[in-house]
Amino acid sequence: MENIFDIFSKKKSPEKEKTKVFVDYREKNSLVYSELISLGLNPEIMELKVADYIINDVAIERKEISDFISSMLNKRLVSQLKNLQQYKNRILIIEGIDEKELYSDEKSVHGVHPNAVRGFLLSIILDYETPIIFTKDGEDTARFISVLSKRQKKEASLNISRKNLDKGERMQFILESFPGIGPKTAKKLLEHFMTLRELFNASQNEIEEIIGKKADVFGIIDENYPD
């Protein structure tokens, strides 16, 4: 019997590619990360030099309330906000407003006067030109990121570094610009050769003994620039 073509059968539409979110490895155990997966996004763990999340062309720094207060007091957040300036589109998420008070009119919270917190929030918006989003919890944060994934299309560069890198970090950053060379491999090479000059003067075989086939990428050092 001949197969009959069912003209009413629905064609399966090709599966939509999941939106990729780059996630700093320190965020792997957060509720936000697991929630992003359940929302159908594609979070990729890596070491981000700046920000906790990067989606399309937006860099996001996430702070739970206790972390926000402590990083405000020790000025770590100021450094992070300066580094975020390398991204045209940036957001600071302050998470957990349903669970903890950020400040209170009646008393100091976390040992910080409410006006100090207000002043710092204004500084973030006016001096560092960084919008602030207050979220209820990790699930709410993930939903904001999910909505953001549907709005933005342009991709941001991941080859951005902290402005206050020390000497070792600068050397590592140079090596990580080679395809396939991540933080661990870069450190392994630097620990062995000690200087970039020694590494670049080494033979392909010497480098291959340390990192295997990944060494092939350094062949470009001997290539001529095309006319």
Residue 43 phi/psi, 5° resolution?
-75, 130
**Residue the block writes with tokens 């780059």:** 22
- 226: which 2 tokens? 């095309």
Q: Which residues contact 187 (CB under 8 A, 6 or more apart)?
A: 172
Question: What are the structure tokens assigned to 117, written together?
Answer: 């917190």
Both tokens of 134, joined, read 């207050």
Name residue 55's beta-bridge partners.
Answer: 58
pTM: 0.62
Q: What is the largest CA-CA distance in the chain?
A: 84
Q: How many residues does the chain have?
A: 227
Count H helices, E strands: the chain?
Answer: 9, 6
Residue pair 138/30 in contact by the 8 Å Cβ criterion: yes
Residue range(s) in the chain whose domain bears CATH number 1.10.150.20: 167-222
Radius of gyration of the chain from Cα atoms?
23
Boundaries of CATH 3.40.50.10130 in the chain?
20-151
Q: Does domain 167-222 have CATH number 3.30.930.10?
A: no
Instruction: Read off φ and ψ for residue 7, nearest 5 degrees.
Output: -70, -15
CATH architecture under which domain 20-151 falls: 3-Layer(aba) Sandwich (3.40)
Q: What is the mean predicted confidence (pLDDT) over 113-130?
A: 93
Sheet of 42-46: strand order equals 42-46, 20-24, 53-55, 58-64, 89-95, 132-135
List, in sequence order, every residue forming a beta bridge with 92; answer none if it has no partner.
61, 132
Segment 12-58, tens digit of pLDDT: 544 556 678 999 999 999 999 999 999 999 899 998 889 999 998 89
Helix, strand, coil percent values for the chain (each to nearest 5): 45, 15, 40
> Position of tokens 């906000």?
81
Which residue type is seen at 39? L
Please write the tens of the pLDDT for every residue from 175-209.
877 877 877 888 889 999 999 899 888 888 899 99
166 or 37, which is more confident:
37
pLDDT in tens, 70-113: 999 988 999 999 999 888 899 999 999 988 888 877 666 667 88
